[in-house]
Amino acid sequence: MPEDTIFGKIARGEIPADIVYEDDLCVAFRDIAPQAPAHVLVIPRQPVVNIADEAAEPGLVGHLVAVCAKVAKQLGIEESGYRVVTNVGPDAGQSVAHLHFHLLGGRHMAWPPG
């Protein structure tokens, strides 16, 4: 089982967050250090390290991506465009060992991303 993380505590309601969406499988909340005008993290309630974790079942990952699209519409960024990113491992920038998707929008995004 993965180590308990700040995201696990947010998912369980033990730490407050600016929640914009939640359901039985996931929670979406505003990032405390936003990299874009709209920056929301979408996390599963269950402890999953990242998409390479065997617990990252396709149905769960698909649900999280669908929630990203739903939240983008809710935030009004679906027309101008947005980016959905997940990091796997420290070299990719994963700093919390709990699967999370970054939903970023509200500004022009350059390519390549970095």
Domain of 96, CATH number, reads 3.30.428.10
The CA R_g of the chain, rounded to the nearest whole Å, is: 13
Query: 78 in a domain, yes or no?
Result: yes
pLDDT confidence of residue 13: 95
Active-site positions read 100
Backbone angles phi, psi at 64, to 5 degrees: -60, -40
The answer to whether residue 111 is domain-embedded is no
How much is the pLDDT for 113? 80
The identity of residue 64, as a single letter, is L
| Predicted local confidence at residue 2, as pLDDT | 55
* Domain assignment of residue 114, yes or no: no
Q: Which residues of the chain have pLDDT under 50?
A: 1
Give the number of domains in the chain.
Answer: 1
Cβ atoms of 33 and 53 within 8 Å: the answer is no
> Residue 35's domain spans which residues?
6-105
The answer to whether 42 and 68 have CB atoms below 8 angstroms apart is: yes
